[in-house]
């Protein structure tokens, strides 16, 4: 059962990416793939700050700021220079590879026995259970913040921007600025996932971000399917369902591996799984 | 209220597909005036409206709203004066947001969108009260997504949303073009009522000559980027519907 617990922890770690993709893709309707880069950026910043023994509480703000900067850059290229959103993301993601390599100084940076977010408060004897508890608190706070933000007047303007741009501009909203802020938030969340995963696995790696966007995408699509099925309208429930999607995604992958599927095939299993969740509902709705 | 001085607009200047959409237009619309603009397709009506709203920048000339020069202001900066209803019912509202959220956004048109939760019981009550004016039963559906409403309902709601914040100018770009006759009638009557009740300056573009005859206290006809007919209130009352049809022959 231990692998299930690990999968749940991983899923919660990835909830930042899931929320990030939910914001960029569902709320702003922008396909943002800066994710691969900003996730690794979060990991790289975390690892380098740990190994330089910087105060623990300064790491998370720094990770959030760096992710936000990456997202804002994508947003700026997309809105001000009028570059296609996908290409803007690719450009920033590509250049982040060099940035991350420079930040880390080498391609892999292990963390020694530092006090991490999972261990700085020891309530439960079992390491994994304690990690899970800390993570639930962390993700809970993160989700509350985002949920509150989306409920505010600013959040309504955010949600409307991806929904009906002409209307939002007529309501006096600078949609360019709104998109830049939105992508900054999305990538700050993604970088936070990098922060969590790096501490969980105990190292940052330059290639840790490859294909990570599909985890967020898969989680959001699971969430979206459920949102449509259950007819969810509330912001809070939508966020909760997206988090559930992130955990379910990892559980399915863990179960697949436990069935004895070659680990080398993990990425193709991931891709097929996402294809199934995207494709199956479409097939079913066609019949009805 | 709306003052256009020597406004010209040329699209694709210097290219083979150059279009002179507006030729040095001078237009003054008074406070409380309900101006109807008619004209064939390509006569420059929509360009004129978009120049007023700031969606299109004029090639030359100046625009003043409420006595202030706004020529260099963007559309979202001008929105403190202007409420718009678009031809497409889908453009004026956000379909996936609830009716309540849409109204909240509309009520903040002239304000910043802050980091506080602005929807409270008082606000809900205000929205329900406004919606009951429409007599469509929408006041009981404020938590429904806007997208579940019909086109006619959405246009009527868009109009109401326009007056949630202190708007002075109402721009209507063929608001009833996509609606069935009954919904179109409700929307036009609502626009007329709001113009009177809130002393708005309204500009309506329409291809429906019956509406053009029924509503408004001034009518202008445009052709090839120029104003070729301008009929004031006293004379508009004397116009027969057939006179308007005569303009297009």
Tens of pLDDT, residues B142-193: 999 999 998 888 998 998 888 888 788 999 999 988 888 888 898 899 899 9
- Chain A from 173 to 192: CB within 8 A of any B CB: 173-175
Measured distance CA(A54)–CA(B235) in Å, rounded: 80
Which sequence spans correspond to the domains of chain B? 2-247
Query: What number is the ipTM of this complex?
Result: 0.85
Minimum-distance CB partner of A171 among B79, B95, B116: B79
Question: Which residue in A144, A145, A152, A171 has the most chain B C-beta atoms within 10 A of its own C-beta, making it the best mutation to test that interface?
Answer: A171
Averaged pLDDT for residues A123-148:
91
Record: contact B113-A159, CB cut-off 8 A: no
| pLDDT band, very low/low/confident/very high, at A33 (cuts 50, 70, 90) | very high
Contacts of B114 in chain A (CB under 8 A): 152-154
CA distance A136 to chain B (A): 25
| pLDDT band, very low/low/confident/very high, at A286 (cuts 50, 70, 90) | low
Q: Which residue has the higher pLDDT, A266 or B188?
A: B188
Contacts of B143 in chain A (CB under 8 A): 233
CA distance A147 to chain B (A): 11
Residue A166, chain B, CB below 8 Å: the answer is: yes
Q: What confidence score (pLDDT) does residue A280 get?
A: 78
What's the mean pLDDT when you consider all of chain A?
91
CATH code reported for the domain at B2-247: 3.40.50.300
| Nearest chain A residue to B145, by CA | A233
Between chain A and chain B, the number of residue pairs with CB atoms below 8 A apart is: 91
Q: Is the confidence at residue A86, as pLDDT, over 80?
A: yes
Minimum-distance CB partner of A172 among B93, B94, B110: B110
- Using CB atoms within 10 A of its CB, is residue A170 exposed (0-12), middle (13-18) or buried (19+)? buried
Residue B85, beta-bridge partner list: B172
Minimum-distance CB partner of A159 among B53, B82, B97: B97
CA distance A26 to chain B (A): 11
Residue A231, chain B, CB below 8 Å: the answer is: no
Record: contact B76-A173, CB cut-off 8 A: yes
């Amino acid at each position: 059962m231990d692998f299930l617990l690990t999968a749940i922890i991983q899923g919660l770690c990835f909830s930042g990416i899931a929320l990030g993709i939910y914001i960029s893709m569902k709320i702003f309707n922008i396909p943002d793939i800066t994710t691969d880069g900003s996730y690794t950026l979060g990991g790289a910043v975390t690892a380098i700050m740990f190994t330089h023994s910087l105060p623990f509480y300064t790491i998370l703000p720094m990770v959030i700021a760096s992710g936000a900067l990456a997202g804002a850059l994508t947003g700026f290229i997309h809105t001000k220079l009028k570059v296609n959103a996908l290409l803007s993301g690719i450009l920033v993601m590509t250049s982040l590879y060099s940035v991350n390599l420079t930040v880390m100084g080498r391609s892999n940076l292990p963390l020694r026995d530092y006090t991490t977010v999972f261990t700085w408060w020891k309530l439960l004897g079992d390491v994994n259970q304690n990690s899970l508890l800390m993570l639930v608190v962390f993700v809970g706070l993160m989700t509350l913040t985002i949920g509150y933000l989306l409920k505010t007047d600013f959040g309504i303007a955010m949600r409307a921007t991806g929904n009906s741009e002409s209307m939002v501009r007529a309501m006096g909203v600078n949609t360019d600025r709104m998109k830049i802020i939105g992508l900054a938030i999305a990538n700050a969340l993604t970088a936070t996932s990098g922060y969590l995963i790096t501490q969980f696995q105990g190292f940052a790696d330059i290639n840790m971000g490859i294909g990570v966007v599909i985890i967020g995408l898969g989680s959001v699509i699971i969430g979206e399917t459920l949102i449509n099925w259950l007819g969810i309208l509330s912001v809070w429930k939508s966020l909760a369902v997206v988090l559930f999607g992130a955990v379910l995604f990892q559980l399915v992958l863990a179960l697949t591996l436990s069935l004895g599927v070659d680990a080398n095939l993990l990425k193709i299993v991931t891709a097929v799984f996402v294809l199934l969740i995207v494709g199956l509902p479409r097939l079913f709705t066609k019949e009805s | 209220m709306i003052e256009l001085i020597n406004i010209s607009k040329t699209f694709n200047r210097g290219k083979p597909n150059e279009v002179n959409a507006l030729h040095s237009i001078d237009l003054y619309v008074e406070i409380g005036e309900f101006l109807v603009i008619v004209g064939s397709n390509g006569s420059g009506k929509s360009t004129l409206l978009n120049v007023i709203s700031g969606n299109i920048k004029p090639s030359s000339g100046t625009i003043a709203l409420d006595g202030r020069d706004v020529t260099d202001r963007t559309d979202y900066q001008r929105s403190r004066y202007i409420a718009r209803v678009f031809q497409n019912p889908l453009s004026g509202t956000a379909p996936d947001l609830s009716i309540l959220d849409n109204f909240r956004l509309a009520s903040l048109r002239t304000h910043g969108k802050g980091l506080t939760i602005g929807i409270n019981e008082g606000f809900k009550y205000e929205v329900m009260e406004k919606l009951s004016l429409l007599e469509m039963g929408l006041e009981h559906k404020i938590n429904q997504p806007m997208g579940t409403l019909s086109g006619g309902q959405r246009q009527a709601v868009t109009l109401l949303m326009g007056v949630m914040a202190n708007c002075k100018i109402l721009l209507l770009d063929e608001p009833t073009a996509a609606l069935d006759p009954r919904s179109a009638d409700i929307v036009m009557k609502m626009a007329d009522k709001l113009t009177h009740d809130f002393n708005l300056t309204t500009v309506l573009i329409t291809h429906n000559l019956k509406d053009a005859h029924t509503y408004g206290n001034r009518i202008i006809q445009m052709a090839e980027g120029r104003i070729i007919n301008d009929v004031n209130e006293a004379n508009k009352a004397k116009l027969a519907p057939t006179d308007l049809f005569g303009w297009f022959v």
